[in-house]
Amino acid sequence: MTSATIKLFLPHGDARRLRVGEVSNWTGKALAAPRTELEDLLARDELESSGVYFLLGVNPDTGGSLAYIGEAEVIRERLKQHKAKDFWTSVVVFVSKDENLTKAHVRYLENRLLQEAKAVGRYALENANSSNPKLPESDREDMEVYLARIRQVLPVLGSDLLSPIAGSAKPAHPQPMLVCKIKSALATGRRTEAGFVVFAKSTAVLAVRPSAESQYPNTIALRERLIQDKTLVEDDGLYVFTKDVEFSSPSAAAAVIHGGSANGLTAWRDKNGKSLKEIEET
C-alpha cells in the first residue's frame, strides 16, 4: 500500500462527532459521524453526491459486529431511508470531490466492498448480495484506486471492517509465527497491529477448567460466542478454529485454547521453544 497524507477535519472540534477525511492528491472525500450526529451529516452539501456508505453497529441477537454496505446516486436520500434500521450506531460515507462517480461506478464499488468485507470476516453483513456492473477497463482501474484509498481511510475514521484479521501483508517488523500447546491441542498465531491472531485449523481443548467458570467468566463467555457462531467446532475430542480469529492479547488467545487462565507471554513459543516474553526481551 502506498504512503499517504490524510487530513482529518473536525467541524465541531470533537473526534467523536462529525469528521471529514481527505487524502492528498485524491479526488475522494470521506465523512463519518455517530448516529446522534446524523442530521448534521445530512445537512452537508457533499451528501447531494453519489457514493458508497457504511452503516456500522452491533447485531442485537449475537452481540457481534454488524454492517450494511450500500451505494446511492444521492447519499442524503438513501441515508434518510436507513433511519428505520436500529442496529447501526455510526455511518461512514465516501463521495467524489469532482462529482465524477456515476451510478455504475458506485455499484461497482459496492460489489467490491461487499466481497472484501466478506473475505475479511470481521463483521456480519446485513446485505450480502449486490449487482456486478460491467465497466470499461480504464474505469475499473480508477475504481480500484478509489477502493485502495477507502481501505486506507476507513481505519482512520474508526472502523476495521476491511482490515485483514491476520494483520498487514507487509508489516514494517514481521512478527514470528508462534505455537501454543496444551495436552493434544495445538494452535498457531502471531501478534498483529490490533492484537493477536490465531489461525484457522488451530485447535483448543474441549473442556474448560472447573475454576474458570467462577474466576474467568470473560474467557468462558468468549469461548461460548466462538462456539455458537461456529468459529470453534468440535472434532475428534478438540475444538477446531474454522477461520482466523483476532484476540485483544496473546493471553486472551491462550486462555480460549487452554480453557482457562493462561499467560500468553509464556504460553506462546516459536519453533525453537523460545517464549514470546523471551523473544520480545531480546
Based on the fold, state whether residues 147 and 215 are members of the same structural domain.
no
Owning domain of residue 20:
6-156
Give the pLDDT confidence score for residue 104 in this predicted structure.
93
Based on the fold, state whether residues 108 and 48 are members of the same structural domain.
yes
Query: Could you tell me which of 93, 41, 42, 98 has the C-alpha nearest to residue 72?
Result: 93
Based on the fold, state whether residues 190 and 111 are members of the same structural domain.
no
Based on the fold, state whether residues 143 and 185 are members of the same structural domain.
no
Mean pLDDT, rounded, of the chain? 92
* 93 residue type, one letter: V
In a domain? residue 165: no
Based on the fold, state whether residues 210 and 126 are members of the same structural domain.
no
pLDDT average, residue stretch 34-52? 96
Give the pLDDT confidence score for residue 28 in this predicted structure.
94
Based on the fold, state whether residues 129 and 204 are members of the same structural domain.
no
Based on the fold, state whether residues 11 and 136 are members of the same structural domain.
yes
163: cell is: 482490515
Domain boundary, last residue among 102, 122, 156: 156
Give the pLDDT confidence score for residue 171 in this predicted structure.
66
Based on the fold, state whether residues 184 and 55 are members of the same structural domain.
no
Based on the fold, state whether residues 103 and 195 are members of the same structural domain.
no
Going by pLDDT thresholds of 50, 70 and 90, the confidence category of residue 1 is low
Alpha helices in the chain (DSSP H): 38-42, 75-81, 103-120, 137-156, 212-215, 217-228, 250-258, 264-267, 276-281
Domain boundary, last residue among 105, 126, 156: 156
Based on the fold, state whether residues 122 and 14 are members of the same structural domain.
yes
Give the pLDDT confidence score for residue 183 in this predicted structure.
93
In this structure, the number of other CB atoms found within 10 A of the CB of residue 36 comes to 11
In a domain? residue 167: no
Strands 19-23 and 6-9: antiparallel
Domain count, the chain: 2
Domain boundary, last residue among 124, 156, 188: 156
In a domain? residue 257: yes
In a domain? residue 163: no
Give the pLDDT confidence score for residue 60 in this predicted structure.
86
Going by pLDDT thresholds of 50, 70 and 90, the confidence category of residue 128 is confident
pLDDT in tens, 46-88: 999 999 999 999 998 878 899 999 999 999 999 999 999 999 9
Based on the fold, state whether residues 51 and 147 are members of the same structural domain.
yes
Whole-angstrom distance, CA of residue 199 vs CA of residue 188: 6
Whole-angstrom distance, CA of residue 120 vs CA of residue 159: 13
In a domain? residue 164: no
176: cell is: 514470528
Give the pLDDT confidence score for residue 96 in this predicted structure.
93
In a domain? residue 83: yes
In a domain? residue 168: no
In a domain? residue 55: yes
49: cell is: 453526491
Based on the fold, state whether residues 129 and 258 are members of the same structural domain.
no
Going by pLDDT thresholds of 50, 70 and 90, the confidence category of residue 193 is confident
Query: Could you tell me which of 101, 90, 3 has the C-alpha nearest to residue 41?
Result: 90
Give the pLDDT confidence score for residue 209 in this predicted structure.
86
pLDDT average, residue stretch 157-177? 83
**Percent of the chain at pLDDT exceeding 90:** 77
Going by pLDDT thresholds of 50, 70 and 90, the confidence category of residue 163 is very high
Query: Could you tell me which of 10, 36, 37 has the C-alpha nearest to residue 21?
Result: 10
